[in-house]
């Protein structure tokens, strides 16, 4: 049937649709998040969040999402930075290990290959003295030791340094080693420091220039004749003015007795002589020779030169055994000069004959025979020590004219009779 269009007809009611309920579902990760003092569910679809019967605004949801992203990025950045730091430390450790391996193991072998190994066979157990220059590193030291036969393998030596953690502790200077030594023992010695006395020598009081030459030849291998040819006052007077008084162009009396250390220097006759002359100058620097000469002239009525005072000191040195007697012996010698008596010193004749003096030697006339000649000898008869020089400068006040010494038996006398008694009473020595 066709519906009627009559306006008076009551309208037909539209069928009511049942009200649909919107169910909000969230993932397990959804958590309540406070937004402007209200609770909502974080992580649910934007169109399905029901708060106050409406929707969470898109601005609020976006802000929430950006906060989540920033938190994630910060966490990832922190984790990335820590990873980079740890990786860097591990990388440096690896590089350090590789560098150490190259330095201690590879480099010595490469160096040996490049330089070639032309070291001749060296017998083990031979004494050698070597110098480790200042600033030498482990590799340079290894090469020096190897070339001198102290070690047989540079790499093994460098390994010993590494094991003992000694690279920064090795000391330069002169060393004495045996060829074929244990590398670990060599490292320990290099850590302890120089042990060589190759450059040292001791000159005792009372040696003549000739005896010093013998000592130098024995100690350093410098020929005796070469040393004596160099030991002339004329070679050094320009640098050492006190030599201007020296007689016979002699350095006798000026090669000062002392223990010297010339380690690390090019040891020559000239170096030794200059070192000893410089020591003499240093030792007597505190002596006022002008005052000494004035005092001696006033006391003994005789003018002495500086050179004669050193000559007197040399005789005192050879005539005495102890420091306690030096000033007393000096008084005897000065008293004799004052009275114009010969010194009668066996030591002056011994300087000429070079051995123990016999009675027949005292009958031979020469400038150093003080039995036949008056006054002092032409030159000093040895190099006196400082104690004898001081005794010559400040003799004891006595009236003694004689002395007799035999070992521990020392007697000073004023007259010849007392002197003869002293000789007669001397211990027999049995």
- Tens digit of each residue's pLDDT (9 = 90 or more) over 358-399: 999 999 999 999 999 999 999 999 999 999 999 999 999 999
- pLDDT value at position 353? 94
* DSSP-assigned states of every residue in 301-348: S----HHHHHHHHHHHHHH-SSHHHHHHHHHHHHHHHHTT-----HHH
| Over residues 288-302, mean pLDDT | 97
**Which range, of 100-104, 106-110, 335-339, averages the lowest pLDDT?**
106-110
Residue-averaged pLDDT of the chain: 83
Residue 15 zone, left/alpha/beta (φ > 0; ψ -120 to 50; rest) = beta
Q: Domains of the chain: which residue ranges?
A: 127-192, 202-283, 289-398
- Do the beta carbons of residue 409 and residue 426 sit within 8 Å? yes
pLDDT above 60 for 313: yes
Question: Number of C-alpha atoms within 13 angstroms, CB side, residue 164?
Answer: 22
- pLDDT value at position 122? 87
Q: At 118, is the pLDDT very low, low, confident or very high (cuts 50, 70, 90)?
A: low
- Do the beta carbons of residue 232 and residue 410 sit within 8 Å? no
The CATH number for 127-192, chosen from 1.10.1040.10, 3.40.50.720, 3.30.1490.480, 3.30.465.10, is 3.30.1490.480
- pLDDT value at position 212? 98
**What distance, in Å, lies between the first and last C-alpha atoms of the chain?**
178
The residues, ordered by sequence, that sit 6+ positions from 413 with a Cβ below 8 Å of its Cβ are: 400, 401, 402, 403, 404, 419, 421, 422
**Which range, of 46-55, 66-75, 170-179, averages the lowest pLDDT?**
46-55
| Over residues 88-108, mean pLDDT | 61
pLDDT above 50 for 402: yes
pLDDT above 70 for 306: yes
**Which range, of 113-117, 162-166, 325-329, 361-365, averages the lowest pLDDT?**
113-117
Using DSSP's 3-state secondary structure scheme, residue 379 falls into coil
pLDDT above 50 for 39: no
- Tens digit of each residue's pLDDT (9 = 90 or more) over 215-272: 999 999 999 999 999 999 999 999 999 999 999 999 999 999 999 999 878 899 999 9
Comparing 355 with 45, the larger pLDDT belongs to: 355
Comparing 49 with 122, the larger pLDDT belongs to: 122
For residue 56, what are its two tokens? Answer: 């969470």
Report the alpha-carbon distance of residue 189 to residue 199 in Å, rounded: 18
């Amino acid at each position: 049937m066709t519906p009627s269009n009559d306006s008076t007809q009551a309208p037909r009611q539209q069928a009511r649709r049942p009200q649909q309920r919107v169910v909000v579902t969230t993932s397990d990760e959804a958590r309540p998040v406070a937004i402007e003092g209200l609770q909502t569910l974080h992580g649910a679809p934007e169109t399905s969040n029901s708060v106050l019967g409406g929707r969470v605004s898109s601005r609020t949801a976006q802000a929430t999402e950006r906060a989540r992203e920033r938190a994630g990025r910060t966490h990832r950045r922190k984790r990335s930075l820590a990873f980079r730091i740890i990786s860097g430390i591990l990388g440096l450790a690896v590089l350090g290990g590789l560098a150490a391996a190259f330095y201690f193991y590879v480099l010595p072998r490469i160096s040996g290959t490049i330089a070639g190994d032309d070291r001749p066979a060296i017998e083990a157990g031979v004494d050698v003295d070597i110098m480790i220059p200042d600033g030498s590193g482990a590799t340079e030291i290894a090469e020096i030791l190897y070339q001198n036969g102290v070690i047989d393998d540079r790499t093994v030596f460098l390994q010993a340094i590494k094991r003992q953690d000694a690279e920064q502790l090795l000391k330069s200077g002169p060393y004495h080693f045996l060829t074929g030594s244990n590398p670990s023992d060599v490292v320990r010695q290099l850590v302890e420091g120089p042990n060589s006395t190759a450059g040292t020598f001791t000159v005792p009081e009372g040696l003549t220039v000739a005896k010093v030459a013998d000592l130098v030849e024995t100690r350093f291998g410098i020929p005796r004749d070469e040393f004596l040819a160099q030991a002339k006052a004329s070679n050094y007077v320009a640098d050492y003015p006190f030599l201007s008084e020296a007689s016979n162009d002699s350095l006798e009396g000026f090669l000062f007795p002392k223990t010297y250390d010339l380690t690390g220097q090019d040891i020559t006759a000239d170096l030794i002589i200059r070192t000893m002359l410089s020591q003499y100058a240093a030792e007597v620097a505190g002596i006022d020779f002008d005052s000494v000469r004035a005092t001696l002239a006033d006391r003994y009525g005789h003018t002495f030169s500086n050179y004669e005072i050193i000559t007197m000191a040399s005789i005192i040195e050879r005539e005495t055994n102890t420091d306690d007697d030096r000033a007393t012996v000096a008084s005897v010698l000065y008293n004799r000069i004052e009275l114009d008596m010969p010194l009668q010193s066996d030591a002056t004749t011994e300087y000429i004959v070079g051995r123990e003096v016999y009675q027949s030697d005292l009958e031979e006339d020469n400038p150093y025979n003080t039995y036949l000649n008056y006054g002092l000898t032409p030159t000093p008869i040895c190099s006196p020590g400082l104690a004898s020089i001081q005794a010559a400068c400040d003799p004891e006040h006595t009236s003694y004219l004689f002395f007799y010494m035999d070992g521990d038996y020392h007697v000073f006398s004023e007259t010849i009779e007392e002197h003869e008694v002293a000789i007669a009473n001397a211990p027999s020595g049995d």
